[in-house]
Amino acid sequence: MERIAVLIPCCNEETTIAKVVTDFRRYLPAAEIYVYDNNSADRSVEEAKRAGAIVRFERRQGKGNVVRSMFNEIEADIYVLVDGDDTYPADKASELVAPVINGDADMVIGSRLHKLSRSQFNLINRTGNILFILVVNSFFRIRITDLLSGYRAFSREVVKNLPVLSRGFEIETELTIASMERNYRITEIPVALAERPDGSRSKIRIWHDGFIILGTIFSFFRDYKPLTAFGLMGLLFVTAGMVPGVIVINEFIKTGLISRIPSAILAIGLVLTGVIIAVAGLLLHAISRRFQALDCQLRNYMRSIDKR
């Protein structure tokens, strides 16, 4: 029997947390259900305990901090991560964990934007999600439909080996990109996102968290694709340097003189800066490849230990 743990981050979800616990106990009766309270000011803890969940606490504010503690502290073979706001369908839980149990996937994302899903999105959230997906798919050449879904299933290997550094709602972005870069198998199943029940309020600050998520995507692009990121930046500087450079060269060809000294200095400075940035990207790319090889060797070593 696979040990399944349902992980529910919770902050002020008094009106919904008991129903979420009850629903997941119904559809995953053998699972242990953990609710991690993140400084709730209402009766979330009491409601979670009343529904039969194992309640623990994370005092550092932010969903990323909660998920990191969950991954570090809970031992299981299969992990299901779901929000405590009762917007994700518990009846999809068996379908979510099946690819992981069968060994067909390391992470399964419940996609709210899949063509077969019927999700209740407001216009701003849908537009933001689509924008983030387009950016990630362009930068990392992956094809997913929902980057920010809070409904996922993981294998033990992903949970115990994936470094989780995010503090807030950018955690889903980190989980997706870091898993992809470590060559874990990712698949999606369609899920229908429901509207929040009356009395339940979203914790996401649209513009604030949106900019943080976008910044996280760019930081991962810099860290995981340094040659592309710094190469593009270097090319931008070289191209900018060519504009005054062409003027200076054209003047020299016609007159044999260089009267635009500031333009010549600017052109040389921009081109040299671009070349240095591109070379730095090349060096970082080589270092990144060595760390990827080391990471792969360490994962293979850990697998061999687990099999003994």
Judged by average pLDDT, the poorest of 259-263, 284-288, 300-304 is 300-304
> Which pLDDT does position 295 carry in this prediction?
67
Q: Which amino acid is at 255?
A: T
| Contact indicator for 92, 119 with CB cutoff of 8 Å | no
- What pLDDT does residue 159 have? 93
Residue 91 has a pLDDT of 93
- Domain residue spans in the chain? 4-224, 226-307
- Distance separating alpha carbons of residues 233 and 161, to the nearest angstrom: 32
* Res. 138 pLDDT band, cuts 50 70 90: confident
What letter represents residue 195's amino acid?
A: E
Name the burial class of residue 55, with classes exposed (0-12), middle (13-18) and buried (19+) by CB atoms within 10 angstroms of its CB: buried
Torsions phi, psi of 34, nearest 5? Answer: -110, 130
Mean pLDDT of 62-71: 93
- The tens digit of pLDDT for each residue in 274-297 reads 999 999 988 888 887 777 677 666
More confident residue, 129 or 33: 33
pLDDT of residue 88: 93
pLDDT given for residue 285 in this prediction: 81
Rounded to whole angstroms, the Cα distance separating 180 from 176 reads 6
Using DSSP's 3-state secondary structure scheme, residue 6 falls into strand
| Burial class of residue 95 in the structure, from the number of CB atoms within 10 Å of its CB (0-12 exposed, 13-18 middle, 19+ buried) | middle
Helix (H, G, I), strand (E, B), or coil: what is residue 52? coil
Task: Take residue 208 and report the two structure tokens written for it.
Answer: 């604030």
Q: Give mean pLDDT, residues 168-190.
A: 89
Rounded percentage of the chain residues whose pLDDT exceeds 70: 90
Cα–Cα distance for residue pair 82/207, rounded to 1 Å: 23
Query: In the CATH hierarchy, which fold is given to the domain comprising 4-224?
Result: Spore Coat Polysaccharide Biosynthesis Protein SpsA; Chain A (3.90.550)
DSSP strand pairing (32-37 vs 4-10)? parallel
pTM of the model: 0.79
At residue 67 the predicted structure's pLDDT band, cuts being 50, 70 and 90, is: very high
Rounded-to-integer distance, Cα 156 and Cα 142, Å? 23
